[in-house]
Amino acid sequence: MSESTEGKFWYCLKHHAVEPTDGCNIADRLGPYPTREEAERALEKVAERNAAWDNDPNWNDDLPEKS
């Protein structure tokens, strides 16, 4: 069973723009997001998640372990 993507938005990495479901190839997009505004923040959200993961000692071998 597949989830409906109608009314959802994607961020196109190729064109740096928000697109509806009928947009570029899925490999070139992030999403889906429930609103256009959330899709517009896609790269910001990626940066926030990457920073959190980079600083998480459970997922980063370069950080000292918790005692």
pLDDT at 65: 60
Note if the pTM is more than 0.85: no
Share of the chain above pLDDT 90, in %: 67
Q: Are 33 and 54 in contact (CB under 8 A)?
A: no
> Stretch 12-27: mean pLDDT, rounded?
95
Looking at per-residue pLDDT, the higher value among 6 and 28 belongs to: 28
Predicted confidence band of residue 55 (pLDDT cuts 50, 70, 90) = confident
Measured between alpha carbons, how far is 27 from 55 in angstroms, rounded to an integer? 27
